[in-house]
Amino acid sequence: MSNDAPLGGGPADSVPTDRAPTDRAPTDRARAGRAHARRAPDTFVNGPSPIAVTVDVVLLTLRSGQLCVLVTQRDSPPFQDGWALPGGFVRVDEDLDASARRQLTEGTGVAASGHLEQLRTYGRPDRDPRARVVSVAYLALLPNLPPPPGTDRDGPTARWWPVEDLGSADGPVLAFDHPTIVADGVERARSKLEYTPLAAAFCEEPFTLAELRRVYEAAWGAPLDPPNFRRKVLSTPGFVVPVGARAAPRGGGRPAELYRRGSATALHPPLLRRSV
Amino acid sequence: MSNDAPLGGGPADSVPTDRAPTDRAPTDRARAGRAHARRAPDTFVNGPSPIAVTVDVVLLTLRSGQLCVLVTQRDSPPFQDGWALPGGFVRVDEDLDASARRQLTEGTGVAASGHLEQLRTYGRPDRDPRARVVSVAYLALLPNLPPPPGTDRDGPTARWWPVEDLGSADGPVLAFDHPTIVADGVERARSKLEYTPLAAAFCEEPFTLAELRRVYEAAWGAPLDPPNFRRKVLSTPGFVVPVGARAAPRGGGRPAELYRRGSATALHPPLLRRSV
DNA sequence: ACAAAAGTGTTAATTGTACACCCATGA
DNA sequence: TCATGGGTGTACAATTAACACTTTTGT
C-alpha cells in the first residue's frame, strides 16, 4: 500500500449502512428513493464515485427435459411480487466468486458446488431506480436438485422457471434488467456446450451418455443422433471417462454404461449445433 | 443488482475518494492510506460496501505484423515507473461502455472508434493495495494508428508493447493484476477470431484479404494457406464485401481486390486454428 | 524474362450425417 | 417374443488441407 492515493477521508461509520439487495426482510422499509440526489457531482470526476457493487447469479439446471433458471420472489418495491435472480451486495473483503457462491447458499439454500463462472457485468446507470448499482453476474450450472429449493420457507419463495416461458405471457415478470441477464446466461450456456465439456455439469455423476445427450437436446431444442453423439463424445479425449459399470436397467432397454466428467476443458473440434 | 434493498443512507461525500488503480493523473496527491481502516466490519453485511468501480481497457492493434497492447507508464506508487492499462473510475451517471471509451480518449488520445466489448470483471480484494477496487475490463481492437499515441505528452507516456514480450525479461512490468487482464484480453481476441468476423476490426478500410489474413497469422503465430483462407472468407456471407476496386500495386505482385467489413456477426462454420 | 503476390483449380484426407442393424433388458 | 433404448457398422456427403497452376504487376 502506499500513500499514493489517499483514500478518502470519510470515517468508516459514515458509509451506507442500509439493507441488503436481496431484501426480503420485513424491516425493509423504503428509505431508498432519491437515488439521484446522492449521485456525485463533478467533484468525483477524478475520484471514485459512490457505486454499489452486487453479484447476481443465473443458476441453470435441467428439470424433466427443460432448461430452468432459479428465481426468487420479491416482496417489496420496486418490482414487488416480481421475480429476481438470487444476488446481493459484495462484501468489502470478499472475492467476487466467493460472493456469488455465498448468494446462492444464503439466498436459496442451494449447495454452492458445481460449475460457477463469471458471466458479465451490468452497469447501466438506470438499471436500478434507487441508486447506481453495478452488478457482476455469474452463471452457475447444477444437476437437477431433489428438493425445489426455497419453496418451504416463509421468506421469499424460490422456484425454477423453464427458460422457454421467460418471454411468454404466462412467464414470470423479472425485475430490473434481469431478463437481459438471464438471456445472456442462457445463451452463454448454450454456446459453451459447443466447445467445452460443460454439459456434464448438468449431470449427476455417474451419468449415461443418453443423459448427457439430453442436456444438449434440452438446451438446443433439437434432437441429436445418438450413435453419432456417442462417437463424438468418446472420441474427444478427457470429455468423459468410463466408470466401468452399467446403470440399473429401468423399464426395458439395454442398460447404459456409466461415465464421469473427464479432465478436458475444451472440445477440439467443437460439437456444433446446426443452426445459422 | 437488482436486488432490492434500499441503498444506504450514507451521504455522497462519505464514500471513498481515493484514486483509481490506474491513477496517473498529475493531480494525484497523497491524501491518505489505511485502506483497511475503511474496510467494512460486520455492520456492512447487509448493505453496500465501499467498493470503488473502475474500468480498464486492453487496446490491441497490429503493428508491423505483431499484436500489440497499449500501456501507459505510471508516475507514482504503487508500481511506480511500471506500466498499466488505460483506465480510471467510473462516474456515477456514466455507463460502463461509455466510461471505457472515455478512458481511452482522455487517457491516451486514442480515438474511441472501433470495436469495444466488455472483457471481464476483476475484483480480488487484494488486487489494489490501497483500497477495494473492482475493475470492469474492456477489450478494444483498432487498426494500426499512424501516431504512436501519447509519446509526445509530458504527462504519462503511452506506448505499444508486443504481446509476445509480455512474459519475457525485456518486457514491461505491468501493475496490479494487469498481466492477467492483458492475457485474458489477448486470449479473448485470439479465440474470437475463430468464430466472429472480428479480424476485420484490425484492418483499416478498405483492406485486402492478405491484410486480413495477416491478422490471423499475427494473432495465432502460424501461417495460413492464402488460397484456402480466401475461399473460407468469401464463402462466409457477410464477412467481407467487395468494394469493386483494387489496391495500388506496390513492389511487384498482382494488385489485390479491396473489401470492407460485412454485416455478419458470427462465422458459421468457424475458422478454427489448428491447435491442440 | 523473372520475381512476387493475387487468385483459381484439383485432389486426397478428414470429418459429419444418415440410417441399417445388433445387443440387452422388461414386460 | 415384442417393445425399448443402448451400442456398432457403414456408406455417403460435406468440409478441410495441400499444392499445382494461372494472372498481374514491378524490375
Alpha-carbon dihedral sign for residues A249, A251, A254, A258: negative
Q: What pLDDT is recorded for position B192?
A: 96
Calculate what percentage of chain A has a pLDDT beyond 90.
62
Question: Cα(A174)–Cα(A180) distance, rounded to whole angstroms?
Answer: 9
| Cβ contact, residue pair A54, B20, below 8 Å | no
The residue among B4, B28, B46 with the most chain A CBs within 10 A of its CB, best to mutate, is B4
Q: Which residues, numbered 230 to 269 in chain B, qualify as contacts with chain A under a Cβ-Cβ cut-off of 8 Å?
A: 268-269
Q: Which residues of chain B have pLDDT under 50?
A: 1-45
Q: What is the CATH number of domain B203-261?
A: 1.10.10.10
Strand D atom within 7 Å of B269 CB? yes
Nearest-CB residue to B92 (from A18, A44, A79): A44
Residues of A in contact with B272 (CB under 8 A): 268-270
Q: What is the pLDDT of residues A111-125, one digit of tens each?
A: 778 999 999 999 999
Q: What pLDDT is recorded for position B151?
A: 54
Q: What pLDDT is recorded for position A150?
A: 54
Q: Give the Å distances, CA to CA, from B112 to B62, B94, B97, B193.
A: 17, 16, 11, 21
Q: What pLDDT is recorded for position A110?
A: 79
Query: Does the pLDDT at position A32 exceed 60?
Result: no
Omega before B156 cis (within 30°)?
no
Q: What pLDDT is recorded for position A274?
A: 77
Q: What pLDDT is recorded for position B93?
A: 96
Q: What is the pLDDT of residues A191-246, one digit of tens each?
A: 999 999 999 999 999 999 999 999 999 999 999 999 999 999 999 999 999 999 99
- B120, closest residue in chain A (CA to CA): A120
- C7 closest protein residue (CA to C1'): B227
Q: What pLDDT is recorded for position A155?
A: 54
- C23 closest protein residue (CA to C1'): A254
- A118, closest residue in chain B (CA to CA): B120
Distance in angstroms, CA of B232 to C1' of C11? 18
Within 7 A of a protein CB, which nucleotides of strand D?
3-10, 15-20, 23-27
Alpha-carbon dihedral sign for residues B49, B138, A184, A186: negative
Q: What does residue B195 show for φ and ψ, rounded to 5 degrees?
A: -125, 15
Q: Is A227 strand, coil or helix?
A: helix
Place of cell 492499462: B85
Q: How far is A41 from chain B (nearest CA, A)?
A: 8
Beta strands B133-141 and B52-63 are parallel
Strand C atom within 7 Å of A269 CB? yes
Domain-wise residue ranges, chain A: 49-192, 203-261
Nearest-CB residue to B30 (from A4, A9, A79): A4
How confident is the prediction for chain A on average, in pLDDT?
82
Burial tier of A252 (Cβ tally within 10 Å: 0-12, 13-18, 19+): exposed
**H or E stretch covering A241:** strand A240-246
Residue B81: Cβ within 10 Å count: 11
With contact defined as beta carbons under 8 Å apart, do B139 and B117 qualify?
A: yes
Q: How far is A246 from chain B (nearest CA, A)?
A: 32
Q: What is the pLDDT of residues A140-191, one digit of tens each?
A: 999 977 555 555 555 558 889 999 999 888 889 999 999 999 999 999 999 9
| Cβ contact, residue pair A40, B91, below 8 Å | yes
Query: Does the pLDDT at position A92 exceed 80?
Result: yes
Q: A166: Cβ–Cβ under 8 A, 6 or more apart, which residues? A: A69, A172, A174, A179, A182, A183
- B77, closest residue in chain A (CA to CA): A4
Q: What pLDDT is recorded for position B152?
A: 53
Question: Please, what CATH class does the domain formed by B49-192 belong to?
Answer: alpha beta
Strand C atom within 7 Å of A253 CB? yes
Query: Does the pLDDT at position A14 exceed 80?
Result: no
Question: Cα(B150)–Cα(B244) distance, rounded to whole angstroms?
Answer: 37
Distance in angstroms, CA of A9 to C1' of C6? 65
Q: A48: Cβ–Cβ under 8 A, 6 or more apart, which residues? A: A8, B15, B16, B17, B18, B20, B52, B53, B54, B89, B131, B133
The residue among A1, A4, A187 with the most chain B CBs within 10 A of its CB, best to mutate, is A4
Strand C atom within 7 Å of A275 CB? no
Residue A255's pLDDT band (boundaries 50, 70, 90)? Answer: very high
- A127, closest residue in chain B (CA to CA): B2
Query: Does the pLDDT at position A75 exceed 90?
Result: no
CA A95, distance to chain mean position in Å, is: 17
- D14 closest protein residue (CA to C1'): B269
Which nucleotide is nearest, taking the CA of residue B259 and each C1'? C6
Q: Which residues, numbered 147 to 206 in chain B, qualify as contacts with chain A under a Cβ-Cβ cut-off of 8 Å?
A: none
User: What DSSP line would sit under B147-162, residue for residue?
Assistant: S-TTTT-SSS-EEEEE
Place of cell 435472480: A85
Helix axes A209-220, A178-195, angle to 10 degrees: 140
Could you give the count of Cα atoms lying within 13 Å of A169 in the half-sphere of its Cβ?
A: 0
A80-94 per-residue burial string, b: 16 or more CB within 10 A, e: under 16: eebbbbbbbbbbbeb
With contact defined as beta carbons under 8 Å apart, do A236 and A268 qualify?
A: yes
Q: What pLDDT is recorded for position A97?
A: 98
